[in-house]
Amino acid sequence: MTDLKISGMTCPSCAAHVKAALEQVAGVERADVSDRTGLSRVTTAADVPVEALIGAVADAGYRAEPRTVARTAAVGGAPGQNTARLQEADSGGGGAPRKLHVVVIGSGGAAMAGALKAAERGARVTLIEQGTIGGTCVNVGCVPSKIMIRAAHIAHLRRTSPFDDGIGAREPVIHRDRLLTQQQARVAELRQAKYEDILETNPDITLLPGEARFESETTVVVRGRDGQDRSVAFDRCLIAVGANPQIPDIPGLPDSPYWTSTEALATDTIPERLAVIGASVVAVELAQAFARLGSRVTILARRHLLSREDPAIGEALAEVFRDEGIEVLDGTVATSVAHSEGEFVLVTRQGEVRVDRLLVATGRMARTADLQLETAAVAVDSHRSIMVDQTMRTSNPRIFAAGDCTDQPQYVYVAAAGGSRAAINMTGGAADLDLRTMPAVAFTDPQIATVGLSEAEAAKAGIRTESRTLTLDNVPRALANFDTRGFIKLVAEAGSGRLIGVQAVADGAGEIIQSAALAIHNTMTVAELADQLFPYLTMVEGLKLAAQTFTKDVTQLSCCAA
């Protein structure tokens, strides 16, 4: 039996239409609908998903959602037992009908967005977290890394800048312990304000500390910090457990005190010599930060820097790194690692690399191994990432997933958007996550930003393209900054001129790319982009100039010519 609240009914005829629509759903025996109260009670012969009922109502021209009620659950157990059950009171019998119960596993960006949206839409939420509230981004990812990167940028500018002839440069003194204190204080402040305080003040979200695993397709078991197990039944579940650093299989590496990004961001010292295994976004961001704070850095790239991007991006970044004294070893793999008396020795086919610290940044893998997903009939891919559709639904229609534990791009804004959309769909709404215009940014200096398709990706999709690359010595803002490192590249569909991709290596590329994303989302052509008004002496004006290169020689234009 399922109780629904129906919106949009104004007369008995409306109720009759809704009744007929519900009784067309397979498994429904009877639907009682009242236009006066706006309520429907659906009697079923089988377990009919509430989404099927809501969809039938929507097809009839009305809106339905699970009927929300007060919470009547409690955690308890008989003396001597180590298992308790969170139960829900059924509607009827004089009591209030129950709220939809949503279990959220995790407390990071995807989990919090999902929990808050589900509660906002009338659900009762149990949020399960085995570690520190807030997940990767605020604690050991985005926030601390960007603070460290910014501090390193300031150190770099004090040491050298394009204006040293008129502003005296000096070698900065780095107090990493003090920078770390400042960094972690801001992390704690944001975790408190954006996670802990919100959970504490939301009456519809209950925090349950512990480690979750699935007991069935509708139940999880939570092992609390007291060692006891609690069985928690749910109507819907959102898995948002994030990911862990992926460690390559290199002989000797597991026995050495290597760093992942977590340890690198928490160190209170700057090593004299640092090696970085990997060429991902995390690898290049932290490599440059440590170099600017005083380390001699060597990067071992299996292919080349940021090899999944347009090759010009990696080439431009490698040139910048070498100018800053960072050694970039392309096509280099460590075949073994040894650690003795405070020194790492990495053996490669090109020779040995000896350093004081080793950072491994070769990607992240979904943290799903201990969830017993097979018990819940939740499918994963070969990397143990949970496979989801555009609604964030897994192979189990009651269970959704979002964030780094899925097969979607590992960005916190994708995670949060996915968690929010999952909650809408879990509570009777309809929302898809469209990643076709997803912007991505690497916070190196210059920044790297992309959106849409590269030339190679377009070719793989069978799209003929026409591209233009604008070097930054054609952008007035870059000239005024005396920093013309990088480029802006536009990829358009041949014939139509429709903009389908942008790649940028530039100071402020992360700010530029959102304008490009909006242009692609709104199916603008390069001609339309070139005809827009862009403020003079901004880096985003480079988009207009790049678009103009499809039809003009921009070197022959005046400074702000249209």
The pair phi, psi for residue 520, each rounded to 5°, is -70, -45
Per the residue annotation, which of 1, 62, 237, 392 is the catalytic one? 62
pTM of the model: 0.83
Q: How far is CA 44 from CA 14, 22, 30, 41, 73, in A?
A: 21, 10, 7, 10, 25
What would the pLDDT profile of 117-145 be if each residue is shown by its tens digit? 999 999 999 999 999 999 999 999 999 99
Task: Judge whether residue 415 has pLDDT over 60.
Answer: yes
- The pLDDT score that the predictor gives to residue 65 is 82
Asked about 405 being catalytic, the answer comes back as: no
Domain with CATH 3.50.50.60 in the chain: 101-135+186-245+365-426, 261-362
> Residue written as tokens 């520190």?
132
What would the pLDDT profile of 36-52 be if each residue is shown by its tens digit? 677 888 988 777 888 88
Query: In angstroms, what is the C-alpha Rg of the chain?
Result: 27
- The pLDDT score that the predictor gives to residue 229 is 96
Task: Judge whether residue 60 has pLDDT over 60.
Answer: yes
Alpha helices, DSSP H, located in 307-450? 311-323, 412-426
Task: Judge whether residue 91 has pLDDT over 90.
Answer: no
Tokens of 426: 């879990």
Which uninterrupted H or E stretch holds 207? strand 205-209
β-pairing, 357-360 vs 273-277, is: parallel
The pair phi, psi for residue 157, each rounded to 5°, is -65, -30
- The pLDDT score that the predictor gives to residue 106 is 98
How does the average pLDDT of the chain come out, rounded? 92
In terms of pLDDT, which residue wins out, 367 or 68?
Answer: 367
What would the pLDDT profile of 429-467 be if each residue is shown by its tens digit? 999 999 999 999 999 999 999 999 999 999 999 999 999
Of 488, 494, 519, the C-alpha closest to 506 is 488
What distance in Å separates the CA atoms of residue 401 and residue 365, rounded to the nearest whole number?
A: 15
Per the residue annotation, which of 9, 392, 405, 524 is the catalytic one? 9
Q: How far is CA 354 from CA 223, 273, 357, 438, in A?
A: 44, 8, 9, 39
Strands lying side by side in the sheet with 487-493: 440-442, 447-452, 499-506, 487-493, 465-471
Per the residue annotation, which of 112, 137, 148, 237 is the catalytic one? 137
Task: Judge whether residue 24 has pLDDT over 80.
Answer: yes
Tell the CATH topology of 440-556: Enolase-like; domain 1 (3.30.390)
pLDDT interval class at 100 (50, 70, 90): very high
Mean pLDDT of 424-433: 96
- The pLDDT score that the predictor gives to residue 81 is 32
The pair phi, psi for residue 125, each rounded to 5°, is -115, 130
> Residue written as tokens 């005024």?
480
pLDDT interval class at 378 (50, 70, 90): very high
Torsion of Cα atoms, 224 then 229 then 234 then 239, to 10°: 50
Asked about 560 being catalytic, the answer comes back as: yes
Eight-class DSSP state of 329: E
> Residue written as tokens 């009744």?
19
What distance in Å separates the CA atoms of residue 167 and residue 163, rounded to the nearest whole number?
A: 6
Per the residue annotation, which of 258, 387, 426, 559 is the catalytic one? 559
Of 99, 49, 70, the C-alpha closest to 217 is 49
Per the residue annotation, which of 14, 237, 392, 405 is the catalytic one? 14
- The pLDDT score that the predictor gives to residue 484 is 98
Q: For domain 261-362, give the CATH number.
A: 3.50.50.60
What distance in Å separates the CA atoms of residue 70 and residue 88, rounded to the nearest whole number?
A: 10
What distance in Å separates the CA atoms of residue 54 and residue 427, rounded to the nearest whole number?
A: 10
> Residue written as tokens 């004299």?
272
Task: Judge whether residue 552 has pLDDT over 70.
Answer: yes
Domain with CATH 3.30.70.100 in the chain: 2-66
Task: Decide: 190 and 139 in contact? Cβ < 8 Å.
Answer: no
Tokens of 409: 């791009």
Task: Judge whether residue 509 has pLDDT over 80.
Answer: yes
- The pLDDT score that the predictor gives to residue 13 is 65
Per the residue annotation, which of 142, 365, 387, 438 is the catalytic one? 142
Task: Judge whether residue 90 has pLDDT over 50.
Answer: no
The domain 101-135+186-245+365-426 having CATH identifier 3.40.50.720: the answer here is: no
Domain with CATH 3.30.390.30 in the chain: 440-556
pLDDT interval class at 300 (50, 70, 90): very high
pLDDT interval class at 211 (50, 70, 90): very high
Mean pLDDT of 93-108: 81
pLDDT interval class at 8 (50, 70, 90): low
Counting every residue written for the chain, the total comes to: 562
- The pLDDT score that the predictor gives to residue 36 is 67
Cis bond before residue 446 (omega within 30° of 0)? yes
Comparing 18-22, 70-74, 288-292, 427-431, the range with the smallest average pLDDT is: 70-74
**470 three-class SS:** strand
What distance in Å separates the CA atoms of residue 261 and residue 286, rounded to the nearest whole number?
A: 8
Q: Which of the four CATH numbers 3.30.70.100, 3.40.50.1100, 3.40.640.10, 3.40.50.300 does domain 2-66 have?
A: 3.30.70.100
